[in-house]
Amino acid sequence: KQEVTQIPAALSVPEGENLVLNCSFTDSAIYNLQWFRQDPGKGLTSLLLIQSSQREQTSGRLNASLDKSSGRSTLYIAASQPGDSATYLCAVGYGGSQGNLIFGKGTKLSVKP
Amino acid sequence: DAGVIQSPRHEVTEMGQEVTLRCKPISGHDYLFWYRQTMMRGLELLIYFNNNVPIDDSGMPEDRFSAKMPNASFSTLKIQPSEPRDSAVYFCASSRVSGANVLTFGAGSRLTVL
């Protein structure tokens, strides 16, 4: 059974720091991996999507990498800002179906001014 | 586009009552998903539809839960009778048939069952 783990559960950093969020999954037979952002009381916003054939994706200050063989993905945030404070969730597309996303429980990030 | 629209945003009800959550997906999206989020279990897929047809309902907890999609622009998730352990945030999401599998989420419906 696919399981997705995110470490750490919470992270607090000063503004301007570069940081890395980690995601690991138990079954490497995935077809994609997504990183989402969730603000308190709101839904999820998709940040980056990496197909299984790709190694990384970049969007602005965000860079996500994927290593299927080791079952790991990282989300790198450069020059963090207080507006980056949110919960970041990793989700693995799994099982060959369009809808089967398995989510981690997220990393709650706090960027202090 | 207004995005995925869910209602109600908040619902407080008493145990045993029927609860109906509603979702309007983004126009042109062929897939619709219902997720449940709790502190203990995180986000779990309950059911998803393709072209209004339920494809996988293996995540529906039990017979008290049912979901319908009568047309491409509307879906409901019903709980009858509701129990305190059903308290959670229920999200609806939709996506195109693209293979890219990028989901757009609604803002969620927070359910509290007393």
Q: Does B15 touch chain A (CB under 8 A)?
A: no
pLDDT above 70 for A64: yes
Over residues A95-111, mean pLDDT:
82
**Yes or no, beta carbons of A44 and B50 under 8 Å apart:** no
Structural contact between residues A52 and A107, judged by C-beta atoms closer than 8 angstroms: no
Closest Cβ–Cβ partner in A43, A98, A104 for B108: A43
pLDDT for B41-95, tens place per residue? Answer: 999 999 999 999 998 898 898 899 999 999 999 999 999 999 999 999 999 999 8
pLDDT above 60 for A97: no
Can you give the pLDDT at residue A95?
Answer: 62
Hey, which bits of chain B come out as E strands? 5-7, 10-13, 19-24, 31-38, 42-50, 53-56, 65-71, 74-79, 88-95, 104-105, 109-113
Q: Does A81 touch chain B (CB under 8 A)?
A: no
**β-bridge partners, A86:** A109
Q: Does A76 touch chain B (CB under 8 A)?
A: no
Over residues A80-84, mean pLDDT:
97
For residue B101, name the pLDDT band (cuts at 50, 70, 90). low
Over residues B22-38, mean pLDDT:
94
The stretches of chain B forming alpha helices (DSSP H) are: none
pLDDT above 90 for A2: no
